[in-house]
Chains A and B, each alone.
Chain A
Amino acid sequence: DQQVKQNSPSLSVQEGRISILNCDYTNSMFDYFLWYKKYPAEGPTFLISISSIKDKNEDGRFTVFLNKSAKHLSLHIVPSQPGDSAVYFCAVQQGAQKLVFGQGTRLTINP
């Protein structure tokens, strides 16, 4: 039973436009949500996070939105740049020490 789902395996966006990546989760008890970014031949790197008591967190071009009633998380990138092309994973904190990751969405930014 998948606790975290990213239903879009890939997304293609024009440079300068907004990229929106989505993530759904099943357990309303999750308390922290994270986004990671992964380039080919590199490990994932932490990008941005949000706690369950907030509905929005912003860091430069990146904003994460949390809709607890819908159990839905989204990452907005504005404006999108070619260097944003990567695989993005959402993750939820499970228990004290573990993260559970989604399947990932491959974002391609076209010039």
Chain B
Amino acid sequence: DVKVTQSSRYLVKRTGEKVFLECVQDMDHENMFWYRQDPGLGLRLIYFSYDVKMKEKGDIPEGYSVSREKKERFSLILESASTNQTSMYLCASSRKRQVLWLAKNIQYFGAGTRLSVL
């Protein structure tokens, strides 16, 4: 069974703190993603990685960085947390899509980390 595990369900941090969100998948997937979910805005892509040590910016990368040292683990880092980063953070993984047309690419999600920055 597919499993994406996020290390924390709830986190409370103070403004200016460095925050690490960890994600581990056990499906040997090449791709991993970090999203944030906010009311009325849906899921917005922060960063994704298509291979170890590779990363690509998503739609809202400002204030975030990522690290992928091992295939199964993808970390999201908030260098200096701010109140506008209070959100639900979701990690996902998927196989690398080899056929680039008419082949679906399902992403599997973790349960999410609800981060509050005070």
Contacts and interface: CB of A to CB of B under 8 A. Distances in A.
Interface size on B, as a range, is: 20 to 34
A89 interface: yes
Contact of A9 (B40, B104, B111): B40
B90 A43 contact: yes
A108 interface: no
B105 A46 contact: no
Interface stretch (B12-20, B63-71, B73-81, B94-102): B94-102
B107 A99 contact: yes
B51 to A, nearest CB: 11
Contacts of B48: 97-98
Interface in B1-27: 4, 9
Interface string A98-109: 111111100000
B97 A42 contact: no
A96 to B, nearest CB: 5
A101 B58 CA distance: 13
Contact of A43 (B94, B104, B112): B112
Contact of A102 (B42, B103, B106): B42
Interface of B: 4, 9, 31, 33, 35, 40-45, 48, 50, 58, 90, 92, 94, 96-97, 100-112
Interface of A: 6, 9, 31-32, 34, 41-46, 49, 51-53, 89, 93, 96-104
